């Protein structure tokens, strides 16, 4: 009798898992109970291959189980445009990882992992403050150029095998810190930055581990039962990182002059808005916990992405000396001196812009994009997808699709140039994602990438160090980064 019940239960479980839960979803690989298709994802780090294989086998809309829940992936640019741009409101709700938001954030706060009014209000407010600070304009350009000068000074002192990554980290961290808290991490503040960055690295690496992804994607009860350590770690990271933001907020609260119209930084702008709203009886929308989480989101999203892109760029220049030579030729022709290259030079440097574009494509920072949860039933390529389903706009598969970018592993900036050598618009290049939640810091990131690249390559040539060419293998930690490497940095012979 027991045996019959046992066999029936197993049969019912597999019927439910393999047939019932999958019956109306687009095709995709068979999921394991609890783990779904995470094995396929972790089999070939950093994970692109799993989605490229599915794209090839099942087409541009398929189901991939992230742990115990299914997610529908879209891997075609036209389909993404149709869904995320033309029907943007349906696709703008983030899938919320409660196992991250609760223990780390203290609830659904911030902008990255928030929805509804919180997301809308704070995305709009942050963009407004960024505009006031001149992101995309002169004011911000001057700040970035000052940090670029610091990188140049440090590179000029480089002898023998040299690691470029730390200088990019410090410059990019200092820029976002100025936007948020009004100061750079130069000189006596550098140890503060290095300490924060090391905690942040630990957190980001841990969140990219299979263990953490599994914990994020199962129910809280199961997670607590199977991986209680995860919650202890989140508490530790929260205490270390949030206490920095909290201390900055406290300092600003003590020093702020509410009568001054101009704002020194984002926190000051936030505190003034908070006061205004509280006077009108709204004590919730601009709360202290929301401010802490905004600082975390902007600090994290604004640092790792740009710095990793710059490290990949030097890596690709080392592996492609002919392309680095073309870059130097263009700079010599257009700039031809040690003067600072500014945003106004951009239109005259199409190869340099193509070089950045190709770096962003090949670096392909986000192997899995940040999932959405649809608010109503939709039809995607003939598949009816019910409201509440998780959707992933998988941009990494587009960048590595040979039909869109032939010979996709080759570093070839010419993909972005026409026959006259002018920059060509390639719609499929969407490293900042697509739709209403596309990167909030795109303007700042584009400015940083251009000013760093133009000025640094104008001054220096990068050559392999004594250990030869560094590895192109990527480390995965929520976004990808190159493995630590060193190279030789030579001053160029320019007037």
Q: Where are the alpha helices (DSSP H) in 186-227?
A: 190-207, 210-217, 220-226
Residue 111 binds to ligand HEM (criterion: CB under 6 A)? yes
Q: Which of 79, 216, 226, 439 binds ligand HEM (CB under 6 A)?
A: 439
CB of 108 to ligand HEM, least distance (A): 12
Binding of ligand HEM by 309 (CB under 6 A): yes
Does 439 show up as a binding residue in the annotation? yes
Total number of residues binding ligand HEM (CB under 6 A)? 25
Question: Can you tell me which residue has the tokens 């590895």?
Answer: 471
User: Which residues within the stretch 320-339 sit at the binding site for ligand HEM (CB under 6 A)?
Assistant: none
Residues 229, 230, 231, 232, CA torsion sign: positive
Beta bridge partners of 447: none
Provide φ and ψ at 379, rounded to 5°.
-115, 125
Q: Residue 183 has what DSSP assignment?
A: -
By CB atoms closer than 10 A (0-12, 13-18, 19+), residue 121 is: middle
**46 binds ligand HEM, rule: CB under 6 A:** no
- Tell me the two tokens of residue 68: 């115990």
> 50 vs 301, which CB is nearer to ligand HEM?
301
* DSSP secondary structure, 9-20, as one string: HHHHHHIIIIIG
Give the tokens for residue 187. Answer: 């000189």
431 binding ligand HEM? (CB under 6 A): yes
Q: Which stretch in 154-162, 183-191, 329-337, 426-434 sits in contact with ligand HEM by CB under 6 A?
A: 426-434
Query: Is 180 among the residues that bind ligand HEM (CB under 6 A)?
Result: no
Of 196, 234, 301, 341, the one binding ligand HEM (CB under 6 A) is 301
Contact 242, 110 (CB under 8 A): no
Q: How far is the CB of 300 from ligand HEM (least distance, A)?
A: 8
The reply to whether 174 sits near ligand HEM by the rule CB under 6 A is no
CB of 302 to ligand HEM, least distance (A): 3
CB of 309 to ligand HEM, least distance (A): 4
Say if residues 378 and 385 touch (Cβ distance below 8 Å). Answer: yes
Eight-state DSSP code of residue 468: B
Q: How far is the CB of 434 from ligand HEM (least distance, A)?
A: 7
Find the radius of gyration of the CA atoms of the chain: 24
Nearest residue (CB) to ligand HEM, 223 versus 397:
397
Q: What are the start-end ranges of the E strands in 39-178? A: 61-66, 69-74
Nearest C-alpha neighbor of 276 from the set 125, 115, 387, 73: 125
Q: Which of 213, 203, 205, 216 is nearest to 477 (CA)?
A: 205
**Contact of 366 with 425, CB cutoff 8 Å:** no
Q: Which is nearer to ligand HEM, 203 or 445 (CB)?
A: 445
Phi, psi angle pair for 173, to nearest 5°: -60, -40
Decide: is 112 part of the binding site for ligand HEM (CB under 6 A). Answer: yes
Q: Does 305 bind ligand HEM (CB under 6 A)?
A: yes
Cβ at position 239, least distance to ligand HEM in Å:
23
Of the candidate spans 72-80, 264-272, 293-301, 453-461, the one that interacts with ligand HEM by CB under 6 A turns out to be 293-301
The CB-of-468 to ligand HEM minimum distance in angstroms stands at 28
- Decide whether 29 or 304 has the Cβ nearer to ligand HEM: 304
Residues that bind ligand HEM (CB under 6 A): 111-112, 123, 176, 297-298, 301-302, 305-306, 309, 365-366, 369-370, 431-433, 437-441, 444-445
């Amino acid at each position: 009798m027991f045996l019959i019940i046992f066999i029936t239960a197993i049969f019912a479980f597999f019927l439910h898992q393999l047939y019932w839960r999958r019956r109306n979803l687009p095709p995709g690989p068979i999921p394991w109970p609890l783990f779904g298709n995470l094995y396929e994802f972790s089999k070939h780090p950093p994970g692109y291959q799993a989605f490229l294989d599915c794209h090839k086998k099942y087409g541009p809309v398929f189901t991939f189980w992230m742990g115990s829940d299914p997610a529908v992936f879209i891997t075609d640019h036209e389909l993404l445009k149709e869904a995320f741009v033309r029907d943007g409101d349906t696709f703008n709700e983030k899938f919320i990882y409660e196992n991250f938001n609760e223990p780390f954030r203290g609830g659904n706060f911030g902008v990255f992992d928030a929805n509804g009014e919180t997301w809308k209000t704070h995305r709009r407010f942050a963009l407004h403050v960024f505009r006031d600070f001149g992101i995309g304009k002169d004011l911000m350009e001057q700040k970035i150029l000052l940090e670029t000068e610091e990188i140049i000074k440090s590179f000029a002192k480089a002898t023998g095998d040299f690691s470029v990554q730390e200088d990019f980290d410090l410059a990019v961290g200092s820029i976002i810190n100025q936007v948020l808290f009004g100061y750079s991490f130069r000189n006596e503040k550098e140890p503060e930055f290095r300490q924060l960055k090391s905690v942040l690295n630990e957190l980001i690496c841990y969140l990219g581990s299979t263990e953490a992804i599994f914990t994020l994607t199962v129910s809280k009860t199961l997670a607590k039962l199977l991986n209680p350590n995860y919650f202890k770690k989140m508490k530790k990271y929260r205490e270390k990182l949030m206490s920095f933001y909290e201390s900055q907020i406290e300092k600003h609260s003590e020093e702020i002059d509410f009568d001054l119209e101009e704002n020194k930084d984002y926190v000051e702008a936030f505190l003034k808005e908070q006061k205004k709203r509280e006077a009108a009886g709204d004590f919730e929308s601009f709360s202290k916990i929301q401010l802490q989480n905004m600082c975390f989101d902007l600090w994290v999203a604004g640092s790792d992405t740009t710095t990793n892109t710059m490290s990949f760029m030097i890596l690709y220049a080392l592996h492609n000396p002919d392309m680095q030579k073309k870059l130097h030729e263009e700079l010599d022709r257009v700039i031809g001196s040690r003067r600072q290259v500014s945003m106004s030079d951009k239109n005259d440097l199409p190869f340099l812009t193509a070089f950045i574009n190709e770096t962003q494509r090949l670096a392909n920072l986000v192997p899995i994009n940040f999932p959405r949860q649809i608010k109503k039933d939709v039809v995607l390529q003939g598949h009816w997808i019910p409201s509440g389903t998780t959707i992933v706009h998988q941009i990494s598969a587009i960048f590595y699709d040979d039909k869109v970018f032939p010979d996709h592993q080759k570093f070839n900036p010419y993909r972005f140039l026409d026959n006259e050598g002018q920059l060509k618009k390639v719609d499929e290049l969407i490293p900042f994602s697509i739709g209403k939640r596309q990167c909030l810091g795109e303007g700042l990131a584009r400015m940083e990438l251009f000013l760093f690249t133009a000025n640094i390559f104008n001054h220096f040539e990068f050559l392999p160090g004594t250990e030869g060419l560094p590895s192109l293998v990527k480390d995965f930690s929520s976004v990808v980064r190159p493995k630590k490497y060193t190279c030789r940095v030579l001053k160029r012979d320019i007037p």
